[in-house]
Chains A and B, each alone.
Chain A
Amino acid sequence: EAGVTQFPSHSVIEKGQTVTLRCDPISGHDNLYWYRRVMGKEIKFLLHFVKESKQDESGMPNNRFLAERTGGTYSTLKVQPAELEDSGVYFCASSPVRGTLSTGELFFGEGSRLTVL
């Protein structure tokens, strides 16, 4: 079974440009999450989808970030315009578990490394 896949694995852009990251969750996983790790810091929650609906976007840094999950399958995270502080690794994770994460098991992709120059 395919795991969570993310594209691109690495993106280098200039400040002010736009980048779109894509995540394909494990087939059948209704829950999809985006997390981010900025250099030297902990992995931080960005948002959570259940199917195509945003359940919690409390971690989104500002309105330059837009996440979508049309049709409840893959998801995109767009950063527009990118700033230097957006550099980091963006992880996508999925889970079949409904409700609270009592089992704690999220299946993560390998991440998309974003470098903003």
Chain B
Amino acid sequence: RKEVEQDPGPFNVPEGATVAFNCTYSNSASQSFFWYRQDCRKEPKLLMSVYSSGNEDGRFTAQLNRASQYISLLIRDSKLSDSATYLCVVNKSGYNKLIFGAGTRLAVHP
């Protein structure tokens, strides 16, 4: 079983739509959680951290459920520029390395 599981998509949505991505992680020792964004043939970039209380950054909302080992990312009012692959990432306690999911691809169309 993979340590971080994501629906690969693709999610094809029109501009203005709301879209949600889910992610599950298998190791309960996971301590820190993040969403990264990767554009086609580019490097991954940190989008936002995910906190237990949930957190929001503009149109993006991240949620964490430690009991269910589940992480989500909600994007409201999708823009064409949101088209990318969204990577769910965890860091295990005491380890200095990030563990990536395979990513969920989002395509926003006019």
B residues contacting the other copy or chain, number (CB 8 A) = 27
**Contact flag A101-B91 (CB < 8 Å), given A42-B100, A43-B100, A45-B97:** yes
Closest to A4 in B: B43
Task: Out of A40, A56, A102, A110, name the residue touching B43 (CB < 8 Å).
Answer: A110
Q: Mark A106-117, 1 if CB is under 8 A from B, else 0.
A: 101111000000
Query: Does A70 belong to the interface (CB within 8 Å)?
Result: no
For the complex formed, measure the closest distance between the CB of B12 and the CB atoms of chain A, giving whole angstroms: 20
Q: Which residues of A contact B45 (CB under 8 A)?
A: 108
Query: Does A100 belong to the interface (CB within 8 Å)?
Result: yes
Q: Which residues of B contact A (CB under 8 A)?
A: 2, 4, 31-34, 41-46, 49, 87, 89, 91, 93-103
